[in-house]
Chain A
Amino acid sequence: MVKFTVLNGVVVPLDRANVDTDQIIPKQYLASIKRTGFGEGLFAEWRKDREFVLNQPRFKGATILLARKNFGCGSSREHAPWALMDYGFRCVIAPSFADIFFTNSFKNGFLPVVLREDEVDRLFHECAAFPGFRVVVDLDKQTVAPTDGSFAMRFEIDPFRKYCLLNGLDEIGLTLRHADKIRAFETQRKAQHPWYF
């Protein structure tokens, strides 16, 4: 997995709540057996609208997406974070996320940041007020701040997830350190409840 440490990037405001994974990547773009190349399908239907935020030149090259609550609801398709990454995003900031999307993101070095609703509001205002508005997302410090450092917002993250992201660790490798424990659990379960095997 790619590491995530500090990200300094332009913020794209996507002022919608409940953005579902069918919008992030419509099903007609799922027909691949690879993990790459999904950027083309990112918000494909919405991008047909010339006014859609990703089509506005001022946000070209942005790496941070800003959205409203319950981002990533619906289908479990990991193609959603893959598409965001492939398009160039490394981070999405929202007041809340759907559980499966949230989990999938961490597996790909893609950081979902939860901020309070009023903080997200403030970032939306900053985006509207300042063309090319950038923030620095610092995972180690757990902060989001504008590049001029005029304010900083703190976010929470599970220590284990943070550790994996900062170091770009392979989770399977980490789990397999507990292989003996898994085997022992399995042996006991098989003896106690053989019908599950």
Chain B
Amino acid sequence: MRTLYDKLWDSHVVHVEDDGTALLYIDRHLVHEVTSAQAYEGLRNAGRKPWRVDSVVATADHNTPTTNWDEGLEGVRDKFARLQIETLDANMKEFGAKVYFPYLDKRQGIVHVIGPEQGATLPGMTVVCGDSHTSTHGAFACLAHGIGTSEVEHVLATQCLVTRKMKNMRVNVEGQLARGVTPKDVVLAIIGRIGIAGGTGYAIEYAGSAIRAMSMEGRMTVCNMSIEAGARAGMVGVDDTTIEYLKGRRFAPQGAEWERAVAYWRTLKSDPDAKFEREVTLDAREIRPHVTWGTSPEMVVPVDDAVPDPDKEKDSVRREGMERALQYMGLKPRTPITDIRIDKVFIGSCTNSRIEDLRAAASVVRGRRKASNVKVAMVVPGSGLVKEQAEREGLDRIFRDAGFEWREPGCSMCLGMNPDRLDPGERCASTSNRNFEGRQGAGGRTHLVSPVMAAAAAIAGHFVDIRKW
């Protein structure tokens, strides 16, 4: 009896060394501008060719500006960013891909948004990308995880990854989520429970009625942040929601092949008596909207709680970590979360920039204005197609009328490689995935929240409990 991860693993093993090191076949390789240049350079230097060009789906997303698109490449003011974008263009021309959505293409976007959107992520696949949030694609019952640039080169050259089998962990979320509690809060609660290294060495399967009730967008949000719990891969078994989402997508199979594929995909779930090395269960009804207070995603509390007190922490390494985090964040112990005032709001990233996220945020913002202390509230759709859809629904108008900025797609202020950044000391309510020191800009202070919580904070000027909104 096997877990979903066991099945995905077994169906991709090409070769195993005596010590358990395996060659795993890779079906889909997502490529972006920041972690691929050195890999293509390596191929070129060694005189090698990509093994299977049609496994590659590429886009520029990490450093692309979210303004000045009318100026073309001239709009990329940072010359190094521009060189990375141009290098990806050149590598695509030289080596090729199944499909490439270059900067300024209307289907361009965050690599983890466009893969599923195009049906280029299919159940049963192994998916890799030189980006740790590749775990997102596990929502489709894929074995999907981030890799480094040497591995990018290795997969390009051999279609395989040298790796070892991980352990199995299942996280069950049972029951119904309260109004205002979102998949983002679920995954923050999970990280708060198991810690940022709790999933190290594991592949996590998310299960339970609350996960089943989520849309594919919601499941992607949960799987996306697996790496924030230390797990390279997170995944959800196939059900009707998975199949419905994929039907008719550009790269999904059609006709008789679709029927065959669906029959196979329906087997992609853990057997009823499959064994997991670790199992964690959360009661969905107890999960409240979450806000991070520190400089790692495990430093998180429910919104109706307060900033914790390091003096109550017994472990000295942890206590010092908390003290350093509070100092960096400019926060005092025992401050109620709802008393924390913010300077900027970022709604976007591979965690929360899909149409459902934008709809939810817009529903909070509709007919209101952002608070005067909020200098910038920025909405960055996950892809050109998400942006188009949102505009068809009039969401851009709702945001603009409320004083929000409506930007072009990309990773944007999640990591601040483009011009969208926090200034030192600025405090941000962000729907992204990492609150590390300087992540959104040197000296910037990030609080991770859901899209509705970010939207409400923009209106109020401080965090509010969305359940009372």
What does the 1/0 interface line of A46-69 toward B look like (CB < 8 Å)? 000000000000000000000011
- Note all chain A residues with C-beta closer than 8 A to B232: 99-100
- Note all chain B residues with C-beta closer than 8 A to A104: 148-151
* A158 adjacent to chain B (CB < 8 Å): yes
Stretch touching chain B among A6-14, A130-138, A146-154, A188-196: A188-196
Give A96 Cβ to nearest chain B Cβ, in Å.
7
CA A170 – CA B131 in complex, angstroms? 23
CA A107 – CA B261 in complex, angstroms? 36
Q: Is there an interface contact between A73 and B157, defined as CB atoms closer than 8 Å?
A: no
- Note all chain B residues with C-beta closer than 8 A to A98: 197, 200, 230
CA A68 – CA B15 in complex, angstroms? 35
Give A164 Cβ to nearest chain B Cβ, in Å.
9
Q: Is there an interface contact between A181 and B317, defined as CB atoms closer than 8 Å?
A: no
Q: Is there an interface contact between A68 and B84, defined as CB atoms closer than 8 Å?
A: no
**Which residues does A use to contact B, with CB under 8 Å?**
16-18, 20, 22-23, 26-28, 30-35, 45, 68-70, 73-78, 96, 98-100, 103-104, 107-108, 158-161, 170-172, 175-176, 178-179, 181-182, 185-186, 189, 193-197
Give A32 Cβ to nearest chain B Cβ, in Å.
7
- Note all chain B residues with C-beta closer than 8 A to A28: 417, 442
CA A33 – CA B113 in complex, angstroms? 24
B285-325 interface (Cβ within 8 A of A): 296, 317-318, 320-321, 324
B130-155 interface (Cβ within 8 A of A): 130-132, 146-151, 153-154
- Note all chain A residues with C-beta closer than 8 A to B296: 18, 20, 73
Give B131 Cβ to nearest chain A Cβ, in Å.
6
Most B Cβ at <10 Å: residue of A98, A103, A161, A172: A172
Q: Is there an interface contact between B150 and A96, defined as CB atoms closer than 8 Å?
A: no
Q: Is there an interface contact between B197 and A96, defined as CB atoms closer than 8 Å?
A: yes
Q: Is there an interface contact between A32 and B80, defined as CB atoms closer than 8 Å?
A: yes
- Note all chain B residues with C-beta closer than 8 A to A194: 253, 257
* B14 adjacent to chain A (CB < 8 Å): yes
Q: Is there an interface contact between A172 and B46, defined as CB atoms closer than 8 Å?
A: yes
CA A158 – CA B21 in complex, angstroms? 8
B19-49 interface (Cβ within 8 A of A): 19-21, 23, 25, 27, 34-35, 37-38, 41, 46, 48
Q: How many A-B residue pairs have CB under 8 A?
A: 182
* B447 adjacent to chain A (CB < 8 Å): no
Choose from B132, B201, B261 the contact partner of A195 (Cβ within 8 Å).
B261
Given contacts A27-B415, A28-B442, A99-B230, contact A186 B436 (CB under 8 A): no
Choose from B18, B23, B54, B78 the contact partner of A178 (Cβ within 8 Å).
B23
Given contacts A78-B150, A99-B200, A185-B25, contact A33 B84 (CB under 8 A): yes
B143-175 interface (Cβ within 8 A of A): 146-151, 153-154, 157-160, 162-164
CA A31 – CA B78 in complex, angstroms? 9
Q: Is there an interface contact between A76 and B83, defined as CB atoms closer than 8 Å?
A: no
Q: Is there an interface contact between A182 and B157, defined as CB atoms closer than 8 Å?
A: no
- Note all chain A residues with C-beta closer than 8 A to B438: 22-23, 26, 45
Q: Is there an interface contact between A160 and B19, defined as CB atoms closer than 8 Å?
A: yes
